[in-house]
């Protein structure tokens, strides 16, 4: 099991202790400073009793606490909508899946290859019209993340360098960094809210009242305005403490994450010169500064920053290049005047140089072993598969009508082919011509590669919007029943669509706190269905017991087959999708053990394990591509 992915996802949900501590420290410092300033001002008029006046203390506590709470919750709700919101805040525009711009097409191809090779849903890609070189990943979880790049990155970097940067961003997605970044942004917004109110008061409200006229000497506006200017200036100055703690929190997110993401990019691509070359170009020739009003607030999201202060959120570029040179980045080593290694070595374990955990061995069809990772061989084979795909397929998979047609062909069975064609001609006129023309091309792909095509089609399906996508799913559901049954291949496609498309329509937080101990009934249901669907009558009980033993469950008779329906399976995985990630990993290992009980790994066994992984929101690559 790739424990790095599962533990990283859980840690991202728990890694708020340090943030909460700094958050409380910042709020307390702001409250204390404001109380001291107001008490001092009042004591000059009312004596020392102002320092202990409960009304003043309560007012400061309620006022500052209320402002900070509202601002934090508002920002958190805003960012919980998904990575698209952050991309839009930075002025990004989504790149169309059918773009004909060569640089945009190259970028999308790189992202798609990495997504298929890793099992992460293909993220929407946004471009910021900025001449600098930078990129970011954002989103509350792997299924709702986005990738953003500057126009300068596409224009100034070559393919290897772009791939290195995108691999760095995928590492942040794998390790839950995008989630913690969103929480950090909300906390910073809350702490800085008091200072913002003070600034607005002394810069706008106070001067507006001070310039007011009317009723001659009896007009209180100028006096009130002058008082508000002074008060606002004091509050703004005190609120600057919030800015200080905000920058501290940004830096405390741990610059070490950037070193780890750099090392992971080398591991994923086996090309340290790619990411090192991108960093060298930023250092020597181009800027990394993004000219967006939101760039400072979201600075910790970026691949690189031009800020070089005490509270910088990224380590110095020279230090990052130096560590990459130690991993075999020959071009960067030469530019630094370091002797070039004769051959490019594997990244050595060096003191002070963080190394990502090694990939686990790849047992046959053990999909779980590669969860949340990006293996170089799979990335290379995925690239070869893309190149070998017929042009008609690569064109159709990026179009909404072609994406629908491909999904219809995946569920079409010979027994109901004529009924399926009539249904599509009636319910989806736009997709019907492509359904007919792509028939042979899709049918020649293996079952796993057909699901990989569906994964590629996800962005085009998402572009349909909620209503358009709902109509497509209704048509697809009717096609699944044209042969009188809904088999596990159909179910695998349904789970893939739920994860790769439907999760992007969600705006609320995903729950990941459940424990297997409280869901043993659901776990048994899943293991039993895998046992009866993938084994003969003689081996079903043994397969079921093997899966239960993997989870530490007591041995029982396999449930009655009449209870093991697809509806029961759907209900079970829906509940299990609330497990913490470490338990999801254990569950998937048990599924793999059950499926492979007979030692004969076949395509259906892989598909069912991958379908359960999709249901649990765990990225599993299409191993059949290997």
Evaluate if residue 21 carries a pLDDT over 80: no
Predicted confidence (pLDDT) per residue in 359-371, tens digit: 333 343 456 777 7
- Cβ(386)–Cβ(455) below 8 Å: no
The reply to whether 421 belongs to the active site is no
What is the architecture of the domain spanning 510-625? Answer: Orthogonal Bundle (1.10)
Average pLDDT over residues 13-25: 65
pLDDT of residue 343: 35
Strands 125-128 and 93-94: antiparallel
d(CA 108, CA 149): 11
Predicted confidence (pLDDT) per residue in 389-414, tens digit: 999 999 999 999 999 999 999 998 87
pLDDT of residue 219: 66
pLDDT of residue 2: 45
- If DSSP states are collapsed to H, E and C, what string results for 505-554? HCCCCCCCCECHHHCHHHHHHHHHHHHHHHCCHHHHHHHHHHHHHHHCCC
CA-CA-CA-CA torsion sign (103, 109, 114, 120): positive
- Cβ(163)–Cβ(186) below 8 Å: no
**DSSP label at residue 248:** H
Average pLDDT over residues 239-252: 70
Confidence of residue 348 (pLDDT cuts 50, 70, 90): very low
Phi-psi domain of 214 (left: phi exceeds 0; alpha: psi -120 through 50; beta: other) = left
CB within 8 Å of 225: residues ≥ 6 apart: 205, 206, 207, 208, 209, 210, 211, 212
d(CA 195, CA 238): 7
Instruction: Scan for tokens 């990495």, then name that residue.
Output: 114
Of the candidates 188, 241, 198, the residue with the CA atom closest to the CA atom of residue 31: 241
At residue 372, φ and ψ (nearest 5 deg) are 65, 30
Predicted confidence (pLDDT) per residue in 147-195, tens digit: 999 999 999 999 999 999 999 999 888 888 888 788 778 877 887 888 8
pLDDT of residue 353: 40
d(CA 32, CA 429): 67
Backbone Cα Rg of the chain? 28
d(CA 177, CA 163): 19
* 3-class SS of residue 175: coil
pLDDT of residue 17: 58
At residue 421, φ and ψ (nearest 5 deg) are -65, -40
CA-CA-CA-CA torsion sign (332, 334, 337, 339): positive
Instruction: Scan for tokens 């070869």, then name that residue.
Output: 384
Average pLDDT over residues 418-432: 92
d(CA 224, CA 269): 64
Confidence of residue 236 (pLDDT cuts 50, 70, 90): confident
Name the burial class of residue 438, with classes exposed (0-12), middle (13-18) and buried (19+) by CB atoms within 10 angstroms of its CB: buried
Confidence of residue 310 (pLDDT cuts 50, 70, 90): low
Confidence of residue 554 (pLDDT cuts 50, 70, 90): confident
Average pLDDT over residues 274-296: 89
pLDDT of residue 345: 37
Concatenated DSSP letters for 48-116? GGGGG-HHHHHHHHHHHHHHHHHHHHHHHHHHTT-HHHHHHHTT-EEPPTT---HHHHHHHHHHHHHHH
The answer to whether domain 86-179+256-335 and domain 510-625 are alike in fold is no
Average pLDDT over residues 317-345: 65
Return contacts of 428-434, CB within 8 angstroms, 24+ apart.
Answer: 428/401, 428/404, 428/472, 428/475, 430/401, 430/404, 431/401, 431/402, 431/404, 431/405, 432/405, 434/396, 434/401, 434/402, 434/405
Concatenated DSSP letters for 447-492? HHHHHHHHHHHHHHHHTTHHHHHHHHHHHHHHHHTTTS---HHHHH
Predicted confidence (pLDDT) per residue in 602-623, tens digit: 677 788 888 999 999 888 887 5
d(CA 102, CA 88): 23
- Cβ(193)–Cβ(64) below 8 Å: no
Domain spans, the chain:
18-80+181-252, 86-179+256-335, 389-505, 510-625
In CATH, the number for domain 86-179+256-335 is: 3.30.2010.10
- Cβ(508)–Cβ(80) below 8 Å: yes
Instruction: Scan for tokens 């950090």, then name that residue.
Output: 184
Name the burial class of residue 218, with classes exposed (0-12), middle (13-18) and buried (19+) by CB atoms within 10 angstroms of its CB: exposed
Q: Which two tokens stand for residue 387?
A: 């190149």
The residue from 113, 161, 169, 582 that is catalytic is 169
Strands 125-128 and 146-150: parallel
Of 54-63, 134-143, 228-237, 334-343, the range with the lowest mean pLDDT is 334-343
pLDDT of residue 572: 94
10 Å Cβ neighbour count for 21? 12
Predicted confidence (pLDDT) per residue in 315-324, tens digit: 888 989 998 9
* 3-class SS of residue 150: strand
pTM of this prediction exceeds 0.85: no
Confidence of residue 216 (pLDDT cuts 50, 70, 90): low
d(CA 583, CA 511): 13
């Amino acid at each position: 099991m790739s424990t790095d992915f599962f533990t990283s996802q859980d840690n991202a949900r728990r890694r708020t202790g340090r943030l909460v501590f700094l958050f409380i420290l910042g709020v307390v410092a702001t409250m204390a400073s404001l109380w001291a300033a107001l008490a001092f001002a009042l004591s000059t008029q009312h004596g020392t009793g102002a320092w202990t006046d409960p009304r003043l203390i309560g007012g400061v506590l309620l006022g500052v606490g209320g402002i900070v709470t509202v601002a934090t919750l508002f920002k958190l709700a805003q960012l919980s909508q998904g990575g698209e919101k952050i991309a839009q805040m930075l002025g990004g525009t989504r790149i169309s899946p059918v773009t004909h711009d060569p640089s945009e097409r190259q970028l999308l191809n790189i992202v798609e290859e990495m997504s298929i090779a890793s099992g992460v849903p293909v993220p929407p890609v946004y471009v910021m019209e900025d001449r600098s070189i930078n990129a970011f990943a954002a989103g509350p979880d792997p299924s709702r993340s986005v990738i953003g790049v500057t126009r300068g990155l596409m224009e100034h970097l070559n393919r290897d360098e772009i791939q290195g940067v995108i691999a760095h961003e995928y590492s942040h997605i794998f390790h839950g960094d995008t989630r913690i970044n969103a929480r950090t942004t909300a906390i910073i917004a809350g702490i800085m809210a008091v200072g913002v109110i003070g600034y607005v008061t002394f810069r706008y409200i106070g001067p507006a009242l001070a310039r007011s006229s009317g009723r001659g000497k009896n007009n209180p506006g100028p006096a009130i305005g002058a008082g508000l200017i002074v008060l606002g200036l004091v509050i703004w100055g005190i609120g600057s403490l919030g800015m200080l703690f905000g920058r501290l929190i940004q830096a405390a997110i741990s610059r070490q994450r950037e070193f780890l993401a750099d090392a992971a990019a080398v591991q994923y691509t086996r090309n340290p010169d790619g990411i090192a070359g991108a960093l060298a170009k930023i250092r020597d020739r181009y800027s990394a500064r993004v000219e967006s009003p939101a760039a400072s607030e979201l600075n910790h999201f970026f691949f690189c920053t031009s800020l070089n202060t005490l509270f910088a959120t990224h380590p110095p570029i020279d230090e990052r290049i130096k560590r990459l040179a130690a991993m075999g980045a020959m071009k960067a080593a030469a530019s630094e005047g370091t002797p070039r290694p004769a051959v490019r070595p594997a990244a050595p374990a060096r003191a002070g140089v963080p190394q990502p955990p090694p990939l686990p061995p790849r047992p046959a069809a053990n999909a779980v072993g590669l969860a949340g990772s990006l293996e170089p061989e799979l990335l290379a084979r995925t690239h070869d598969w893309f190149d070998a795909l017929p042009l008609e397929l690569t064109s159709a998979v990026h179009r909404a009508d072609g994406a629908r047609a491909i999904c219809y062909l995946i569920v079409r069975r010979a027994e109901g082919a004529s009924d399926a064609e009539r249904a599509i001609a009636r319910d989806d006129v736009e997709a019907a011509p492509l359904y007919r023309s792509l028939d042979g091309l899709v049918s020649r792909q293996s079952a796993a590669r057909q699901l990989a095509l569906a994964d590629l089609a996800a962005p085009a399906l998402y572009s349909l919007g909620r209503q358009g996508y709902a109509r497509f799913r209704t048509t697809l559901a009717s096609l699944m029943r044209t042969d009188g049954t809904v088999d596990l291949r159909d179910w695998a496609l349904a789970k893939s669509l739920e994860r790769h498309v439907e999760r992007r329509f969600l705006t609320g937080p995903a729950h990941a706190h459940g424990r297997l101990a409280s869901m043993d009934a659901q776990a048994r249901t899943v293991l039993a269905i895998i046992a009866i669907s993938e084994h003969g009558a003689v081996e079903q009980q043994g397969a079921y017991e093997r899966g239960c033993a993997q989870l530490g469950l007591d041995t029982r008779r396999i449930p009655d087959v009449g209870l093991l329906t697809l509806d029961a399976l759907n209900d079970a995985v829906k509940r299990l999708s609330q497990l913490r990630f470490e338990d999801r990993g254990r569950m998937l290992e048990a599924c793999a053990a059950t499926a492979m009980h007979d030692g004969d790994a076949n395509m259906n066994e892989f598909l069912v394990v991958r379908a359960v992984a999709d249901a649990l929101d765990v990225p599993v690559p299409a191993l059949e591509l290997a």
